[in-house]
Amino acid sequence: MKPTATRERILDAAERLFAERGYDGASLRAITGQARVNLAAVNYHFRSKRALMRAVFARRLEPLNQKRLALLETCMAARANGPPDLERLVEALVAPAFRMGEQSTGDAAALRKFMGWVLVDPGVQIERVLAEQFHEVALHFVAAFRRALPDLPPEELFWRIHFSIGAMASVLTGAPFLKIASGGRLDTSDVDGVVQRLVAYISGGLRAPLASGRRRRRGPPGGSGAS
């Protein structure tokens, strides 16, 4: 077997099994079994299971973010003067995540699930990897969104980006509540259609008018704002 092939096989199998069973649910035995590789190979090529996890994630995140930046450049170039088109911007952020792995050997659906799962699960603790690889992309997109939505206060924009990634991630993972609300009538296999809907939804959310000052438990008219 080609020396470097082992490493890739482990990454492929780990990706699939992490997606299917979660971090704890995917044992190294299962991973090495599916990769048809020796159990000890994991601890040789990677240092530990957690390190393997981070490697699986990092391998996908880098090209994903490059794709995003490339699309972002296109958006900005198309509107050299004036604000960029918001829908295109959102698409540049969202679509690459749904196109991942389409031409690789692995299971594209599993890959999407894995990525969404990693984004949402606070227990995975890939913040470091995420922060390193995502920081540049975040900066560029935040700047672009600011130009597209100049009236939105920065703090509000951050929150809305957060909501948007959450909406995207829940679709990637295949969260279970979808089939309940719809009675199972939704077609999740039409990736293009989902991306299109998601882009429309997120753009609408980003463009929403600012909430009026209504607060729950607002102070009475006399204005005793202390709390």
Query: Which of 4, 81, 82, 214: binder of a copy of itself (CB under 8 A)?
Result: 214
Q: Which of residues 59-98 bind a copy of itself (CB under 8 A)?
A: 95
Q: How far is the CB of 51 from a copy of itself (least distance, A)?
A: 18
| Residue of 17, 55, 89, 199 that binds a copy of itself (CB under 8 A) | 199
Mind giving me the DSSP string for the chain?
--HHHHHHHHHHHHHHHHHHHHHHHS-HHHHHHHTT--TTHHHHHSSSHHHHHHHHHHHHHHHHHHHHHHHHHHHHHHTSSSPPPHHHHHHHHHHHHHHTTTTSSS-HHHHHHHHHHHHH-TTS--HHHHHHHHHHHHHHHHHHHHHH-TTS-HHHHHHHHHHHHHHHHHHHHT-THHHHHHTS---TT-HHHHHHHHHHHHHHHHHPPPPPS--TTPPPTT-----
**Which 17-46 positions form the footprint of a copy of itself (CB under 8 A)?**
21-25
What minimum distance in Å lies between the beta carbon of 106 and a copy of itself?
16
Our CB check for a copy of itself shows the closer of 37 and 202 to be: 202
User: Binding residue for a copy of itself (CB under 8 A) from 53, 55, 126, 148?
Assistant: 126
Rounded to the nearest whole angstrom, what is the least distance from the CB of residue 130 to DNA in the complex? 21
Stretch that binds a copy of itself, among 4-12, 46-54, 104-112, 172-180 (CB under 8 A): 172-180
- Residues 129, 61 contacting (CB under 8 angstroms): yes
Tell me the closest approach of the beta carbon of residue 28 to DNA, in angstroms: 3
What residue ranges bind DNA (CB under 7 A)? 1, 3, 5-6, 26-30, 37-45, 47-50
Among 177, 189, 221, 223, binds a copy of itself (CB under 8 A): 177
